[in-house]
Amino acid sequence: MHNTLIIIGSIIGVFVTLYVLARFKMKNIPTVSDSDKILTLTDKNFQHQTKNKLVLVDFWASWCAPCRIMAPVLNDVADELTGNSHVGKVNIEQYQSLAQKFQVRNIPTMILFKNGSEVDRFVGVKSKDFLLQKLSKDY
């Protein structure tokens, strides 16, 4: 019985250590500046910027580690897009009304708008290829 408790305690200790290390690593993900091609969306320009276009809008926050993971991916996507397809970002801390309007419950949430209307939604970290494939889809 005593040996079983030692083994269980050791296993729990290893999991706690791994969890703490993973959290530390996630918090230290560097911030990446947005590409010049990314639209900065606000409550005042949102409707105009998504009108007559295909826009992938990233709802994010500065404290969100998965959002920081997505930043370079979104930069790459924005740099590859041509024509009337764009990438935009909404900081949910600054524009909570937009997050509420589109019922964003988790971040990162990316919503694809065509002519100002939502056509698709993705939650969590996604790959560049996944996003480019969704942007090339005929909606």
**61, 64, 65, 132: which one is catalytic?**
64
For residue 124, indicate whether it is catalytic.
no
Q: Going residue by residue through the chain, which has 139 residues, state the pLDDT in tens, using 9 for 90 and above.
A: 778 888 888 888 888 878 777 666 656 666 778 888 999 999 999 999 999 999 999 999 999 989 999 999 999 999 999 889 999 999 999 999 999 999 999 999 999 999 999 999 999 999 999 999 999 887 7
**41, 54, 67, 77: which one is catalytic?**
67
**Are 131 and 77 within 8 A, CB to CB?**
yes
Per-residue pLDDT, 106:
95
Per-residue pLDDT, 67:
93
pTM over 0.85: no
**Are 104 and 92 within 8 A, CB to CB?**
yes
> Distance between CA atoms of 55 and 21, rounded to whole angstroms?
36
Locate 2 and state its tokens: 């005593």
Dihedral pair phi/psi, residue 93, rounded to 5°: -70, -35
Per-residue pLDDT, 88:
96
For residue 67, indicate whether it is catalytic.
yes
Per-residue pLDDT, 7:
87
Per-residue pLDDT, 28:
61
Per-residue pLDDT, 3:
83
Per-residue pLDDT, 85:
94
